[in-house]
Amino acid sequence: MGRNSLGSLEEAVMLIILALGDNAYGVAIRDELSKRTERDHSFGAVYTTLDRLGDKELIFSWLGDPSSVRGGRAKRYFKLTDAGQKRLDEAIRARRELESGFLGGKLA
């Protein structure tokens, strides 16, 4: 998959980061992803996707406060960059156009 294309898991993770707002961190993203897609996603897959999105400069991250339930470790929060927001909008629009094409029978 090329650097400029957006995979389906990448798109899903970006949507979830957007939906979670200020609470978008590893565990929450993975839980929400598993819930929405009704599939159990491993942390490895989620981290790989997050790293890839970071490499593509579509998301950025920062460390939050440490918490006792995490063994005194901090959470790493994620947010979409402007470029990420734009890319997500484009991907959603492209998919909607494709879907409307199918539904309208234009591609039949």
- The minimum distance between CB 64 and another protein, in angstroms, equals 8
**Any idea of the CA torsion for 100, 103, 106, 108, to the nearest 10 degrees?**
140
Asked if 19 and 35 count as a contact pair (C-beta separation under 8 A), the reply is no
DSSP reduced 3-state for 27 = helix
Q: Does 37 bind another protein (CB under 8 A)?
A: no
- Considering only 1, 21, 40, 71, the residue that binds another protein (CB under 8 A) is 71
- Considering only 9, 11, 18, 54, the residue that binds another protein (CB under 8 A) is 54
Q: State which residue, 57 or 97, has the beta carbon closest to another protein.
A: 57
Q: Does 100 bind another protein (CB under 8 A)?
A: no
Q: Does 21 bind another protein (CB under 8 A)?
A: no
Q: Does 40 bind another protein (CB under 8 A)?
A: no
Radius of gyration of the chain (CA): 16
Between CA 24 and CA 61 the distance in angstroms is: 10
